[in-house]
Amino acid sequence: MTKKEKAKYIIDELERLYPTTPIPLSHYSNYTLLVAVLLSAQSTDKKVNEISPFLFERADNPYDMAELEVTEIKELIKQIGLSNSKAKAIKGLSELLVSKHGGEVPESFEELEALPGVGHKTASVVMSQAFGHPAFPVDTHIHRLMTRWGLTSGKNVVETEKDAKRLFPKSLWNKLHLQIIFYGREYSPARNPKAEVDFITSKLRK
């Protein structure tokens, strides 16, 4: 199969499996989505969803969060990996949102990536899921599967994102990146995937 044929097969199968793609991180505003995505780095969505309600009960907007001490934020998120650096980032980005953006999450990659703790992947999730702008956030699942499917060299996530954007229609990016994540979690784990379960990979490797 050519890469274009593989991409078509993937699109069709993932649409069949996941016709709807709810955002896996619990949130109820652009700000809570931004914080939840930041928390999810090197952690699981399940763990973030377990602890984020306690954080957002204490502060669910940048004005209230900016008033908290870093130590208090860290205590609320201590079960999450990298809690110290994430607490500092949440405090810092909240202060910047208040001082520079009127308390609103900015709607541009440049402004998002200028916030503490917000890298390109986090900005991509916010741009796609909060604002509906075409983006293709690449997490470990997508990087792994794009490599397994022979659609990228797998050198780094930057190259993987470029290859994904080149292969898949722009109109599908926001939904497709979630569909790939869902498939990776359910059918193609990082370790010892079973060929009879991971049917897309088995098909594409023939």
56: which 2 tokens?
Answer: 């957002």
Residue 113, Cβ density class (10 Å: 0-12 exposed, 13-18 middle, ≥19 buried): middle
Place of tokens 């602890």: 51
Instruction: Specify whether 121 is catalytic.
Output: yes
122: which 2 tokens?
Answer: 């986090």
Give the span between the Cα atoms of 39 and 89, in whole angstroms: 10
Q: Which of 8, 47, 88, 139 is catalytic?
A: 139
Q: Which of 74, 86, 91, 121 is catalytic?
A: 121
Give the span between the Cα atoms of 84 and 86, in whole angstroms: 5
**Contact indicator for 133, 171 with CB cutoff of 8 Å:** no
**Contact indicator for 96, 112 with CB cutoff of 8 Å:** no
Half-sphere exposure of 69 (CA within 13 A, CB side): 3
Active site residues: 121, 139
